[in-house]
Amino acid sequence: MLKFFCHFLLWFSSIALGVQQTPLTNSCFLNIKIKEISVSGYDITPMSQQELDAAYLHLPENIVHVIRDKGTEKPYPYDNGYDNYYKNKRDGIYVSVVTKIPLFDSDDKFESGTGWPSFKDIIDKDHIKIVPDNSIPRMPRWEVIETKSGVHLGHVFDDGPLPTKKRYCINGAALQFVERSQLPQFLSQNSPIKKQEL
């Protein structure tokens, strides 16, 4: 319907203005990108491949391997070249290393014994997507990806604590930790489209 309306508008405008239609004017409305906003007020419109490639340039290769190539970091805080947040007990928010969109709250972090940071819930369900992962034969899993960037975060399992019974087993490489006291300043610098406080 939108496409029909756009073509009608172009046709009517060209008659009224005496302008001949060209393939370029006919296609000008076909690349409309509608912004998607999450329940908590963040722009989660999917990034283009060009935007994503530019973001990867600012990250170390070992982190890019995990989030782009669906790698898995070593468990526990071994020599990954970064803090995987497994032992982090500070109060704050874990945001996407690519988009800076909040993903997990330290209040939902728990000790899973796996060596990776684990969470029982997510800040906003719109910020992630759960997709089937059949990369290991006879071991179906559910992959967690970030909605906006599409990067690999980790996996979710149904063996977590109550009330959710979920265990979001997340690669620390995909996260950046922001202390709660620093959150307002961080959000004002990194998420200008945020509409409400966390």
**Which residues belong to the active site?**
169
Q: What is the DSSP letter of 14?
A: H
Which stretches within 32-101 are classed as H helix?
A: 49-56, 61-68
Kind plus residue range of the DSSP H or E element containing 159 = none
Residue the block writes with tokens 């977590």: 160
Cα separation, 41 vs 191, whole angstroms: 10
> Which residues are bridge partners to 95 per DSSP?
102, 176
- Sheet with 128-133, side-by-side order of all strands: 109-110, 118-119, 167-170, 152-157, 141-146, 128-133
Q: With CA atoms as reference, report the closest residue to 174 among 41, 106, 82.
A: 82
For residue 167, give Cα distances in angstroms to 67, 101, 144: 19, 20, 11
| Contacts of 11 by beta carbon, 8 Å cutoff, 6+ apart | 21
